[in-house]
Chains A and B, each alone.
Chain A
Amino acid sequence: MSRRIAIQRSVMAADEKIAEKIRKDLSKKGVLMLNLIGSPGSGKTALLEWTLKDPLFRSVVLEGDVATSRDAERIARTGTPVVQINTRGGCHLEANLVEKALESLEMDGVDVIFVENVGNLVCPAEFDLGEDYKVALCSVPEGPDKPLKYPHLFMRAEAVLLTKVDLLEHLDFDRDLFWKDVKELNPRAERLEVSPLRGDGMSDWVSLVQGWVKAKRP
């Protein structure tokens, strides 16, 4: 005889609990966590390399990749403490992975944790890591239609960065369409155009992060 039992609980309840724990912990310590999400090759690591070469805030980095520690090695060359998380097939980071990685880092005096998520515009947007903000990256070569094609990420991002703008003169990228779509999906998001290669917009990006760091301090 089968009996029906109502449960009505989130499927991701266990991981969501961990994300909330991370969030509370970091709030108490006044540490900012940013979750950088974008396609493979959108320029997440390059953004961090530029940001961390002469940082105005003390940072640590969590690198999420399916395989290799190449990104962590690039970050390590800036002198910033970094942990590489290999998901070995997983297409996104989850709070339980972030929790484990944070345990191996010295957090005293840290202002910001940069989490570079696995290159993917789809899944990472759905998994709360306990971060303060999601930062969405889209590069010029990817084309201007990505926001509407991946609305989940762009709607939930606190900031949207158009990267590799040094390539605008070489590619047929409709900037007006891109920003119109972003504004429609998320009128409140910060909007920046950057090129870590050439330096465009990078001081605005750093100021944005500085503002968030100040606001987080208890």
Chain B
Amino acid sequence: MHELSLVGAVVESLEEMAREKGWKKVTKVTLRIGRMRQVIPEVMVFSFSVVTEGTIMEGSSLEILEVPVTSRCSFCGEEWEGLSFLCPRCGSGQVETASGMELDLESVEVEE
């Protein structure tokens, strides 16, 4: 399951940042995850609790902000919710995913 691999990447990232900035403890981690990402929040939370054991993130809470999927027509600029592949306004097929692909470390709460 790649939730474990993603959590591993988060922990590695944060450990590096903690070393650079001299954080004593991380108490909360907030991730922004788009709904197109095939990530199961419950699995992320569980993996997080396991992977952070023994690190300065141990015992911290994981918050996941889910971002809805929206599409945008690169021809006329129309935006809409969901994944349809023809623009509902102009009918063009030049559609891109505007949101829903995020996999971002949004913020942390730390003790310094």
The residues of A with any CB-CB pair to B shorter than 8 Å are 1-15, 90-92, 94, 122-123, 126, 151-152, 155, 184-188
Closest-CB distance, A127 to chain B (whole angstroms): 8
Contact B108 A5 (CB under 8 A): yes
Contacting pair B105 A7 (CB below 8 A):
yes
Closest B residue to A89 by CB, please name it. Answer: B4
How many B residues, CB 8 Å from partner? Answer: 29
Chain B contacts to A: CB under 8 angstroms? 1-2, 5-6, 9-10, 12-13, 17, 27-28, 31, 36-38, 83, 85, 93, 97, 103-112
Q: Which residues of A contact B93 (CB under 8 A)?
A: 187-188
A8 contact set on B, CB distance < 8 A: 104-107
Contacts A/B (CB < 8 Å), 7 sampled:
A3-B110, A3-B111, A7-B108, A12-B103, A123-B2, A123-B38, A155-B97
Q: Shortest beta-carbon distance, A175 to chain B, in Å? A: 20
Are B37 and A126 in contact, with the CB atoms below 8 A? yes
**Given A10-B103, A184-B85, A187-B93, A5:B110 Cβ within 8 A:** yes
Bound: A187/B92 CA distance, A: 11
For the complex, give the distance between the alpha carbons of A11 and B106 in Å: 9
- Are B103 and A187 touching (Cβ within 8 A)? no
Closest to B37 in A: A126
Whether B2 lies near A4 (C-beta < 8 A) is no
List of A residues within 8 angstroms of B31 by Cβ: 11
Specify which of B12, B28, B37, B83 is in contact with A14 (CB 8 Å cutoff). Answer: B12
Instruction: Check B2 against A126 for contact (C-beta < 8 Å).
Output: yes
Top 5 A-B residue pairs of the complex, sorted by shortest distance between their CB atoms: A2-B109, A187-B93, A7-B105, A123-B2, A6-B107
Q: Which of A3, A7, A92, A155 contacts B106 (CB 8 A)?
A: A7
Please give, as numbers and ranges, the residues of chain B lying within 8 Å of A3 by CB-CB distance: 109-112
Q: Which residues of B contact A151 (CB under 8 A)?
A: 83
